[in-house]
Amino acid sequence: MIIYDTHFNANEWFIMISLCFGFVCVAFFPKRFPRQVAAVFLMCGVYSGFFFDHSLSVEPISFYDVNDISKFQLMDFLSYFMYAPFSYFFFYAYDRLQLKPSYIPLYILVWSLASVGIEWLAVLFGVFHYQHGYQLAYSLPIYLLVQSCWVALYHGLKNRSFL
Residue 119: its pLDDT value, please?
96
Residue 70: its pLDDT value, please?
83
Q: Where are the domains positioned within the chain? A: 10-159
Residue 69: its pLDDT value, please?
83
For the CA atoms of the chain, what is the radius of gyration?
Answer: 16
Per-residue buried b or exposed e for 142-151, using 16+ beta carbons within 10 Å of the residue's own CB: bbbebbeebb
pLDDT by 10s per residue, the chain, length 163: 788 888 899 999 999 999 999 999 999 999 999 999 999 999 999 999 999 988 888 778 889 988 888 888 889 999 999 999 999 999 999 999 999 999 999 999 999 999 999 999 999 999 999 999 999 999 999 999 999 999 999 999 999 998 8
